[in-house]
Amino acid sequence: MNRPTHSKSGLFLMEIMFNILFFSVLITFCLQLFFEAHSLSESTTVLHRAVSTCSSLAEIYQSSPNGEDSLQQYYPDSVVSDNTLQIYFSEDFINCSQKGAAFSAEFTFSEDNPKTATLCFLRLPDSETLYSLDISGYCPQTVTALTGGERP
């Protein structure tokens, strides 16, 4: 009697195909996680550099009696209009002209108090605000300014 024997290679082929499908889905999921982590790391790096740059700009502004002039001296490519000063930076956060800029630091000076300003760090060209900082400095008053020139 001849019994027909079934080939076991069909079952083996199905198992291999299932394993390949499972690993390809797993690899796709893991790659998405790695790409998301990479983009999150890049955005964190940009935010950190923006905060550091804003801190440096605020220190320059606060360290001199006329902060606007000091900023223009340190950043000669800056653009001034009304109560606003814009400083442009490249992708590497190096000062550059407006033409090659990837980022912009925008100072808005207060008319009430000469040592108060708002600093916004923007990503160009869509002007997305990455970081914002309110800056105020200390302006000491002299005795002559307080008494009107008369000494007590």
Provide DSSP, 82-132.
TTEEEEEE-TTS-EE-STT-SEEEEEEE-SS-TTEEEEEEEETTTTEEEEE
Q: Would the pLDDT of 8 be above 70?
A: no
Alpha-carbon distance 21 to 7, whole Å?
23
Rg (CA), the chain: 31
More confident residue, 42 or 141: 42
- pTM across the whole model: 0.71
Cα gap 116→65, rounded to integer Å: 12
pLDDT at 6 over 80: no
Q: What is the pLDDT of residue 100?
A: 83
Residue 13's pLDDT is 87
Residue 114 exposure: Cα atoms within 13 Å on the Cβ side: 8
* The amino acid at 34: F
Q: Residue 5: pLDDT above 80?
A: no
Number of neighbours of residue 4 by Cβ within 10 angstroms: 4
DSSP 50: H
Cα–Cα distance for residue pair 75/66, rounded to 1 Å? 15
Instruction: Reply yes or no on whether the pLDDT at 110 is more than 90.
Output: no
Which helix (H) or strand (E) segment holds residue 67: the answer is helix 67-74
Over residues 10-34, the mean pLDDT reads: 92
Residue 48 pLDDT more than 90?
yes
Half-sphere exposure of 84 (CA within 13 A, CB side): 7
Amino acid identity of residue 138, one-letter, is: Y
